[in-house]
Structure 1
Amino acid sequence: MKLQPDNPGGLNTFTAYGEGYVSVNGIRHNCNLAVLPERLIPDWTQATFATLGVADFELLASLDADIVLLGTGQQLRFPSPDLLQPLIRAQKGLEVMDLPAACRTYNVLMAEGRKVAVGLLLA
């Protein structure tokens, strides 16, 4: 049984993920990146989870998305509330999850036509 609608052509979809990588539309990426249905931002940040800064969240807050996801690698970790100020000012919520859950959630929301963005930390 098919649980998701077909992906409209040309939109970014996660096609695979694993330890230290994700594939978007069949192309493998080994760096942190931000993904929106119609835009891909390689090297969204050079930070690790421990070194995330306000500037990293300012970029996420500036994206044309109603829903922002943060994939924190293979382990679920929550950023410091101080870092979330740019999203709060932009009146955007943040859902934090591990990388596999972030990829799956993004695919479902994107397929529903939602304005979603995801920032992924692969390291």
Structure 2
Amino acid sequence: MKFQPDQSDAQTITGYGPGWLAVNKTPHSHSLLVGSDGLLQAWNCSRFEDLTAEHFALLAEQSVEVVIFGSGDKLRFVPPAWLAPLMAKRIGVETMGTSAACRTFNVLSQEGRPVLAALLVE
């Protein structure tokens, strides 16, 4: 039996480290929104302390099943009230460190799931 690697057109996070991450082998040194549908845009926050409720309201405008929030170098949670716009649209939210969020995004997007990664790069 021959095995064939799975092929997908979804974006892939191909690398990450302190202060950077790469999407489809293109390096970025700022926080990003990465969608399995091809969305790739800067996320206007450079520190966890800069985040506001408006950052998460923006995420609720996307047509996804789940948002993977990469909270930076360590696991940190935002106030639950900030997630209300996502919950109102029945969009799941998972919080983890950015490195774990990158790996989780890749798995879900390769499965064909509509997913958005909101990745804090500090």
State whether TM-score is above 0.5. Answer: yes
Contiguous gaps of at least 5 residues in structure 1: none
2:48 — aligned with what?
A: 49
Separation (CA, whole Å) in 1 of partners of 2:121 and 2:50: 13
Question: Which residue of structure 2 aligns with residue 100 of structure 1?
Answer: 99
Tell me by how many angstroms 1:36 deviates: 0.6
Give matches, 1:48-87, under 5 Å.
48-87=47-86
TM (norm. structure 2) is 0.89
1:34-87 CA distance string (max 9 Å, x none)? 001232332222352112111110111111110111001110101111211111
Partner of 2:6: 6
Q: CA RMSD in A?
A: 1.4
Equivalent AA in structure 2 for residue 105 of structure 1:
T
Q: Which blocks of at least 5 consecutive residues in structure 2 are unaligned? A: none
Partners of 1:37 and 1:14 lie apart in 2 by: 11
Counterpart contact for 1:72–1:99, Cα < 8 Å:
yes
CA distance in 1, matches of 2:37, 2:89: 21
Structure 1 residue runs of 4+, over 6 Å off? Answer: none
Give the TM-score of the pair, scaled to structure 1: 0.88
Give yes or no for contact 2:105–2:115 (8 Å, CA) kept in 1.
yes
Listed one character per residue, the Cα deviations across residues 4-51 of structure 1 (whole Å, up to 9, x for unaligned) are x53423x21010000011100000011111001232332222352112
Percent identity, aligned pairs only, is 40
What CA distance in whole angstroms lies between the structure 1 residues aligned with 2:98 and 2:8?
23
